[in-house]
Structure formats: structure tokens, C-alpha cells
Amino acid sequence: MAVVIDYKGDFPYLAAENIKVPHCFTTRAGGVSTGIFDSLNMGRHRGDSDENVDRNFRRLAEAMGIGADALVLTRQIHSDIVRRVTKTDHCTLDHRDYPECDALITDDPGCGLVIFTADCTPLLFWDPVTGAVGAAHAGWRGTASRIGSKTVRAMVEAFGCRPEDIRTAIGPNIGQCCFQTDEDVPLAMKAAFGHEAEPFIRFDGEKYYSDLKQLNALDLWQAGVREMEISEVCTMCDHERFWSHRYTGGQRGSQGAVIVCGKHG
């Protein structure tokens, strides 16, 4: 099983074969935005028109089989904050109207959870036993603060999930090939994971390269998750198909990762 490309009409997206409720990692295609935001930009406040972003959200919601008013968004701050939500937590399609957090969980049927990325790591969670779902945005700071395992723990505490039942998908992000940093990033990873982080950090004599997908997978494994699908996509290498903050120097749109609770009421 893998993270594979799929289509809903003319709307392309990536989906994990091990997750059986509506979910996706969006690409740059399938929307109505123009210019540098061509065409599926999910991010407001980047210079795109609100009308275009609203229409893009409605296309995303339609592809997932729900109304846009069932989507709950994140106002991301590179934190380890996890919020439990329901459909009633939807207020607008503007993420800045929501409380600050970088992960959402729900067991409310039909509720869609949305996080945003443009090089950071998107994580999706589904428990087929309880029906609960989660979504998390893991930048390098979120990875170091172990937001993935904290999302798992929140699902256990809120919904009675067992970590070994939770299926996860790690979506497109900036790969180790392109994630060049100074020593601050590997030091943060070693502080979080100890010597187990070392296989996922490379030093070339001048800079460091960390594998955020595998570091998040390590975090989830240590939390008791056993079923994971990991995308092979590097958003910077594949910048024509995905938004990459580094490649564009910040002049870009945003991907969305969404998962819909399929639990029956």
C-alpha cells in the first residue's frame, strides 16, 4: 500500500491506500487561482484573492463529498497544540479566524479537518475502530516537539483509540535531498529523539540534511503506531506539481491536507 495519485473529476490529489475515509493531500492543480498562485492555492493572506481561495476550498470540499461549512481549519504557529473539534467549530474559510494550533482531532461524523503546508510535513490519522480522525502540520519545530505522537495521545485520551489501531499517512514535504540547514535543526532532532535520530541526519561538511518524513515516522512508531504510508514526493524537487516555500522564496500558495470523519452517528 502507498500514497498514490487519485482524481475526483478534474481534481487531482494524493491519497493513502490504507485510509478508507475521504482524505487527500492536494497538489497545485485543480483550482481557479491565477498568476503565481496557479491554480489550487488553499492559503489566504498570501496575495491571492479571497474569492479564488473560497472557490478552491469549495472544490476541495466537493471532492471530499462534504460541504465547505463542515471544514475546520488550523491557524498554524509551528506549535505542538492539538485541538479537539466538531463541525460546529467551523466559522469561516479564513484560517486566521481560528484558535492557534497545529493539529486537529475529531470523532464528529462528516467533519473535515484541514491543515496547510508548502514544504512542512502533513500527517493524517484514522482509527477504523472508533472512527476518529486527526490531521497535523509538522514543520521542523513541530517534528522536534513531536506533534505526531501528541496527536496520537490526544486521540487515545479523547476517543479511547489504541495507537496500534491508528493508521497514518505522511504526505508530500521537502525531502532530505533539499532540506539544507545549519546545526540548529539536527540538534533539535537529537534532543527530541536521542541517538535514534542520527540515521536520518546527514552532514556534508558544511550543512546538515534532515529527513523529516522518517523522523515523523520514528515519532509515530515510538507512540505505538504500526501502520504508516509515506509519500516519496519532495515538494522542492517537484515544485511544478506542489507548492514549495523554499523554491519560490515564499512567493507561493499552500497545499491542503484534509481528512473527513466517516464514523456513523
User: In this predicted model, what pLDDT tens digit does every residue of 104-120 receive, in sequence order?
Assistant: 999 999 999 999 999 99
The neighbouring-strand residues paired with 126 are 133, 167
Kindly state whether residue 216 falls inside one of the protein's structural domains: no
Structure confidence by residue, pLDDT tens digits, 3-39 = 999 999 999 999 999 999 999 999 999 999 999 999 9
Kindly state whether residue 132 falls inside one of the protein's structural domains: yes
Handedness of CA 23, 26, 30, 31 (dihedral sign): positive
Kindly state whether residue 265 falls inside one of the protein's structural domains: no
* Cα gap 93→261, rounded to integer Å: 19
Average pLDDT, the chain: 97
Kindly state whether residue 147 falls inside one of the protein's structural domains: yes
**pLDDT tier at 1, thresholds 50, 70, 90:** confident
Map residue 184 onto helix, strand or coil: helix
Do 5 and 14 form a contact (C-beta atoms < 8 A)?
A: yes
Kindly state whether residue 93 falls inside one of the protein's structural domains: yes
Kindly state whether residue 116 falls inside one of the protein's structural domains: yes
**Residue 253 belongs to domain spanning:** 3-173+228-260
pLDDT of residue 208: 98
pLDDT of residue 247: 98
List Cα–Cα distances, 35 to 111, 203, 216, 240, 251, in angstroms.
Answer: 32, 37, 34, 13, 11
pLDDT of residue 57: 98
DSSP element (H, E) containing 13: strand 11-16
Kindly state whether residue 88 falls inside one of the protein's structural domains: yes
DSSP element (H, E) containing 148: helix 147-159
* Cα gap 152→158, rounded to integer Å: 10
Task: Tell me what the mean pLDDT of segment 156-163 comes to.
Answer: 98
CB neighbours of residue 197 within 10 Å: 23
Structure confidence by residue, pLDDT tens digits, 180-199 = 999 999 999 999 999 999 99
Task: Say whether pLDDT at 263 is over 70.
Answer: no
**Contacts with 124 (C-beta within 8 Å, 6 or more apart), sequence order:** 16, 19, 23, 25, 133, 134, 135, 168, 169, 171, 257, 259
**pLDDT tier at 265, thresholds 50, 70, 90:** very low
Residue 128 belongs to domain with CATH number: 3.60.140.10
Kindly state whether residue 213 falls inside one of the protein's structural domains: no
Task: Tell me what the mean pLDDT of segment 245-249 comes to.
Answer: 98
Task: Say whether pLDDT at 264 is over 60.
Answer: no
Structure confidence by residue, pLDDT tens digits, 64-105 = 999 999 999 999 999 999 999 999 999 999 999 999 999 999
Domain count across the chain: 1
Task: Tell me what the mean pLDDT of segment 136-150 comes to.
Answer: 98
